[in-house]
Amino acid sequence: MEEIKALKIRPQPKTVVRKHVIVVKVQHNVGVLSRITGLFAGRGYNIESLTVGMTHEPNIARITIVVNGDERVVEQIIKQLRKLIETLKVRDITDVPHIERELAIIKIHTADSATRDEIMRLVDIFRARVIDVSSDTYTVEITGKHSKIEAFIDLVRPFGIKDVARTGVLSVVRESQKNIDNI
């Protein structure tokens, strides 16, 4: 019994699960996106947001991935991403000053003129814009941080949302960080 008391159990370091923004530059080849998402699925992590687009460089794509996870798991995923042949650069920009934006297109039911007026007030407040009008809907385009888009959606939900299309998060490192390699 004395031996058991003498053993000190070290407390395990707390693993903080939080949002990570990972930016990957890849050769734009067939199947590369499938291999990348497979790394996340293989470890049981759900991708919160995924955007892919061509860059200014020929045959180079930029992938922005938002995932919730702890530092250890994200570090392992980044190591695995770097092992893929098509991967040119991988960076977790979570703790680096960066700009994030998302685009959403939302089709909102408009029952009467009072509803239309209220929706237009919200559109103005959120600096969104109406991009299509029908007899019973407004289609609104809004860009900004994820939280801004969520707030707008929450406020127009009582009117009735017919459809929502979202891009996912796009992100770039702030230029003021000259000492940091931009991705």
Please tell me the predicted confidence (pLDDT) of residue 181: 53
pLDDT (tens digit per residue) in 93-112: 999 999 999 999 999 999 89
| Region 30-39 average pLDDT | 90
Q: What does the DSSP assignment read for 64-109?
A: EEEEEE-HHHHHHHHHHHHHSTTEEEEEE-TTS-EEEEEEEEEEEE
- Domain boundaries of the chain, sorted by first residue: 18-96, 99-170
**CATH topology classification for 18-96:** Alpha-Beta Plaits (3.30.70)
pLDDT (tens digit per residue) in 134-180: 999 999 999 999 999 999 999 999 999 999 999 999 999 998 755 55
d(CA 64, CA 82): 15
Please tell me the predicted confidence (pLDDT) of residue 55: 93
Please tell me the predicted confidence (pLDDT) of residue 11: 52
- pTM confidence score: 0.79
d(CA 7, CA 55): 57
Please tell me the predicted confidence (pLDDT) of residue 178: 52
Q: What does the DSSP assignment read for 23-66?
A: EEEEE--TTHHHHHHHHHHHTT--EEEEEEEE-SSTTEEEEEEE
Could you tell me which of 70, 76, 73, 67 has the C-alpha nearest to residue 14?
70
Domains 18-96 and 99-170 share a fold: yes
**The two three-digit tokens of residue 81, written as one number:** 């991403």
Question: Which residues, including other chains, have CB under 8 Å from residue 39's CB and lie 6 or more apart?
Answer: 77, 80, 81
pLDDT (tens digit per residue) in 47-76: 999 999 999 999 999 999 999 888 888 898
CATH number of 99-170: 3.30.70.1150
166 forms bridges with which residues in the sheet? 104
* Residues 161/106, Cβ–Cβ less than 8 Å: yes
Instruction: Name the CA dihedral angle for 23, 147, 141, 156, rounded to a multiple of 10 degrees.
Output: 150
